[in-house]
Structure 1
């Protein structure tokens, strides 16, 4: 376990649980809501507040995809789910390559040298994540490098769980939303209009959301309650998609900037699906900035 500190912030990292965050505290407020998901065997039942997603994001239908003339079958890594999910970086220990009081860099190398590793992901890659506390909040960078001898399709993102109540509001801009089937795969794409237009903010009360939004413009504001500080997420342009998973009954919402749509590897006809193909030795990455402010709405009464 690593702890970073700066000013009135502290950040706790679990290198051996997928470089996950346990806690981000700002001025005495816990911003992340640790969640334990027993179905995700790689997290060992440990409650985590955020973790990186790579080398693909969200669900991959039946754990299958084809690329470069090769068909691949991945292991199903979530109990009860017919699809593989969130890649394999979250399932492994990461190495700490740099550490100061307020900054840590962690790395993970995947080498598909046996059948089990190939069924996690058939290509070799190296991932680097940087967590840095600055005066204006938490800065995160993610970089992936293709260490294979073949071209490799990749996607990546970040999966934070934030405290949220029935009073929560969410604001962001996106072009379209994917409605999903009962297993969480994209089924119908709709323009972000009416109930799907979050550009002026929408209350999350009564909403059951587990949807991917395309054409995300890179900024999202969560107002969890009148008494919990608001969080602004700023994402580089490579994060052109956003997944929102709202579970207010359990006091959290996941707001996930990602580079691609769900099941992107199997959706060649979906414009802007977000698959990034890296040549051998090539890298790509992006940065996220999480900023906390005092509650924006006065408490009632």
Structure 2
């Protein structure tokens, strides 16, 4: 494990476990919640607090999509579902490219095997993620570069888990939200109003939410009033979708709120007709870059 330090702040990184964050602490307070999810098969039961979503966020229905006249199929990587979820970068070891006391850059090169059946992402790419820790903030920069000889469709995202404690409240603004069908895939796009709205901060209690918001304005807010702590999340224009995931049960391994800045809607590779689905087509040598900033304050 790599540990970054900035004053009383600490950040733990596990490059070999999919470029994952294992903790972010401000003094004795855990800003991120370490979670063990047995459905994420490649994490092998390890507890992680955040991990990168490359080269797409959320699901690809049945691991199947068509692009540029060709058909592609990938092997499911999430237990209990026939879909491929969150790309494949979280399934592979990353390398440490740069390291300082308060910053680190991790890198992954993915080359699909050509000597056996394709189980994963069928295009070659290079990804980097940089963490810059300060005493009251964390900055995360993400880049994906197409190192294939063909164009490829890509997205980016980050999957942080936040503690569901201290009377936690969440707030953000978005235009619309996608409802889900029984297979956890996008069904209808509806206005983010009424029960779907977080325009005014709302307490996260026992409700179950697992939906992708579109037209996100790039800012989200968490407050733990019992702890006197607040967190502001801001993201660059690459991230115009936001996934909110709050499990209904409150056992120790699922007592979290996931607020995921992402570039693409769920199952975006199979929704070419949605103009703002968030997929970027990279020609060989082109890059997609995004930045996310987390700022801690008292409340």
TM-score range, shorter chain: over 0.9
Per-residue deviation at 1:166? Answer: 7.5
Is residue 194 of structure 2 the alignment partner of residue 194 of structure 1? yes
Per-residue deviation at 1:183? Answer: 2.2
Q: Distance in 2 between matches of 1:251 and 1:65?
A: 34
Task: Give 1:126-137 correspondences, 5 Å limit.
Answer: 126-137=126-137
In the alignment, which residue of structure 2 is the partner of 1:278?
Answer: 282
In the alignment, which residue of structure 1 is the partner of 2:90?
Answer: 90
Q: Distance in 1 between matches of 2:117 and 2:174?
A: 36
Change (3 A) 1:60 1:166: farther
Change (3 A) 1:200 1:109: same
Q: Distance in 1 between matches of 2:273 and 2:225?
A: 40
In the alignment, which residue of structure 2 is the partner of 1:207?
Answer: 207
In the alignment, which residue of structure 1 is the partner of 2:295?
Answer: 291
> Does the CA-based 8 Å contact 1:136-1:291 persist in structure 2?
yes
Secondary structure of the 1:17 match is coil
In the alignment, which residue of structure 2 is the partner of 1:299?
Answer: none
Change (3 A) 1:3 1:197: same
1:124-163 per-residue CA deviation (whole Å, 9 max, x = no partner) reads: 0000000111254100000000000111100110000000
Per-residue deviation at 1:12? Answer: 0.3
Task: Give 1:51-62 correspondences, 5 Å limit.
Answer: 51-62=51-62
Task: Give 1:10-49 correspondences, 5 Å limit.
Answer: 10-49=10-49
Per-residue deviation at 1:247? Answer: 2.5
> Does the CA-based 8 Å contact 2:26-2:136 persist in structure 1?
no
Secondary structure of the 1:33 match is coil
In the alignment, which residue of structure 2 is the partner of 1:70?
Answer: 70
Q: How many residues align?
A: 295
Per-residue deviation at 1:229? Answer: 2.2
Q: Distance in 1 between matches of 2:129 and 2:64?
A: 27
**Is the deviation greater in 115-124 or in 36-45?**
115-124
1:240-299 per-residue CA deviation (whole Å, 9 max, x = no partner) reads: 0000001262321000000000000100122310010000000111110011122x2xxx
Show structure 1 runs of 4+ deviating over 4 A: none
> Does the CA-based 8 Å contact 1:166-1:204 persist in structure 2?
no
Per-residue deviation at 1:27? Answer: 2.6
Query: TM-score, length-normalised on structure 1?
Result: 0.95
> Does the CA-based 8 Å contact 1:165-1:225 persist in structure 2?
no
> Does the CA-based 8 Å contact 2:26-2:135 persist in structure 1?
no
Where does the alignment leave 5 or more consecutive residues of structure 2 unmatched?
none
Q: Distance in 1 between matches of 2:117 and 2:282?
A: 20
Query: TM-score, length-normalised on structure 2?
Result: 0.95
Secondary structure of the 1:120 match is coil
Per-residue deviation at 1:224? Answer: 3.4
**Is the deviation greater in 84-93 or in 201-210?**
201-210
1:145-193 per-residue CA deviation (whole Å, 9 max, x = no partner) reads: 0000111100110000000138221100100011101221110111011
Secondary structure of the 2:118 match is helix
